[in-house]
Amino acid sequence: MSSTTDKLKGLANEAVGNVKQGVGKVAGNDSLVAEGKAQELKGEAQRTVGEAKDGLKPVADAVTGRK
């Protein structure tokens, strides 16, 4: 996956997770709140992977001689 794809999927998962948490709190559904939190954390991890790929690309290009 490209860094942009990782970041976009991460942001989407974070947003959906936050919505699930909000709905779960309003509905009094602790299971939905927990599911939303898990999805939010998954999204944060995906976004972090995308940002790390962006940071490592210049290093990899320098090592391989690419520009």
- pLDDT tens digits for range 4-63: 999 999 999 999 999 999 999 999 999 999 999 999 999 999 999 999 998 887 776 777
Neighbours of 50 (CB within 10 A): 21
- Burial class of 43 by CB neighbour count within 10 A (0 to 12, 13 to 18, 19+): buried
Helix (H, G, I), strand (E, B) or coil at 49: helix
Distances (CA, A) of 10 to 7, 14, 44: 5, 6, 6
pLDDT value, residue 67: 65
The residues spanned by each domain of the chain are 3-64
- Residue 20 corresponds to which tokens in the numbers above? 């699930």
How many angstroms separate the CA atoms of 14 and 42, rounded? Answer: 7
pLDDT value, residue 59: 75
